[in-house]
Amino acid sequence: MPAVAASVVVRTILTDDINLAADEVIKRARAKGATGTDKSLRDTIYNVKSGLKKKGVKPAAVPAAAREIKAPTAPMVAATTPSSPSPDLTTMLANVALVNSVVGACGGAESTRKVAEAVRACGGVEAFLQHVDLVAGIRGPSA
């Protein structure tokens, strides 16, 4: 059986979904009989993608459910009272008060921004707190 031209197989796969990752395209191309090294297949994928984009092939539409932005499930601080006419305003003001105390504890807004960036870089609050515990263990009780 003759070898299947990789460019034809790759073009067929990418025409259906131009956003597929190269690894997935390679996997599907090999299943359809394409041969060659991973590097040559990757080069073919990038060339075919480029050509398809120039021809105006559009990515598949993302379903509306995947694009939907969900509201946070709970506010940072739940300081609402039943008699309050505007619980959203109360929650927002409670969060502002919390941030104000953090800015004071950190020694200013710039230090607070650095802390927020560190939390984000660590992957969230839980991961950040694990790193804080690690550093505190290394630095000792005087830190």
Query: Is 82 within a domain?
Result: no
Q: Are 6 and 35 in contact (CB under 8 A)?
A: yes
- pLDDT given for residue 1 in this prediction: 47
Query: Is 132 within a domain?
Result: yes
Query: Is 79 within a domain?
Result: no
Q: Are 113 and 102 in contact (CB under 8 A)?
A: no
Alpha-carbon distances of 119 from 15, 23, 25, 53, 59, rounded to whole Å: 41, 32, 36, 38, 34
- pLDDT given for residue 27 in this prediction: 92
Query: Is 69 within a domain?
Result: no
Q: Does the pLDDT value for residue 97 go beyond 70?
A: yes
What's the number of domains the chain is made of?
2
Token code pair at residue 95: 């969060």
Least confident of 27-41, 51-65, 90-104: 51-65
pLDDT digits (tens, 9 = 90+) for 3-35: 678 888 889 898 888 888 999 999 998 988 888
pTM of the model: 0.41
Query: Is 118 within a domain?
Result: yes
- pLDDT given for residue 76 in this prediction: 55
Report the interhelical angle of 38-55 vs 22-31 (nearest 10°): 110
Average pLDDT over every residue of 90-97: 84
Q: Does the pLDDT value for residue 113 go beyond 80?
A: yes
Average pLDDT over every residue of 104-122: 86
SS3 at position 19: coil
Q: Where are the alpha helices (DSSP H) in the chain?
A: 6-16, 22-31, 38-55, 64-67, 87-106, 109-122, 125-139
Domain limits for position 98:
89-139
Query: Is 133 within a domain?
Result: yes
Query: Is 78 within a domain?
Result: no
Query: Is 75 within a domain?
Result: no
